[in-house]
Amino acid sequence: MGLDAVTITERFKGTLSDLLGIRFVEASPERVVAELTWREDLTTVGGALHGGTLMAFADTVGAAATVINLPPGASTTTLESKTNFFAAGRPGVVRAEATPLHRGKRTQVWQTRVTDGGGRLLSLTTQTQMVLTT
C-alpha cells in the first residue's frame, strides 16, 4: 500500500491510538515500529503501564502492519490476540515492533514485542488478522 510511518500516524488521528499517544516511527511490509510514552493515566494503581495499554498498543501496531500488506480494496480485523506479560512498564518510552509470522491471502499473523527504553521485554503479543475483501 505504500504507507509510511507519518501517514499511518495521521490515519489513526481521532482513534484509540491517538488517545494512547502512539507514534509510528518505522513502517515497511516486513516490520512496523511505534513508540508510546508512559503517562500516569495509562497505568495501574501501582504505576506500571496497564496490561490493556500494552495490549492495545501491540494490537494497533500489528493491525497497521497488516494494512501495509493488504491487497488494494481490502481491510482487516483482529480474529485472535494473545499477550504474555514479562515486566512492568515504568516511566519512559516503550517501543513496539511487529514482524510477520504468516502473510496469507485470508489471514496474517503478527508478533509484536513491546520493550522499555533499555530493551527489556515487557510483553509479547501474537495476533491473527483476517483479510476482508469485497
Domains, the chain, in order of start with CATH, read: 5-132 (3.10.129.10)
d(CA 40, CA 35): 16
What does each C-alpha distance from 120 to 17, 24, 128 come to in angstroms? Answer: 23, 20, 24
d(CA 55, CA 61): 10
- Predicted confidence (pLDDT) per residue in 74-129, tens digit: 999 999 999 999 999 999 999 999 999 999 999 999 999 999 999 999 999 999 99
Query: Which cell numbers in the block locate residue 107?
Result: 489471514
* pTM for this entry: 0.93
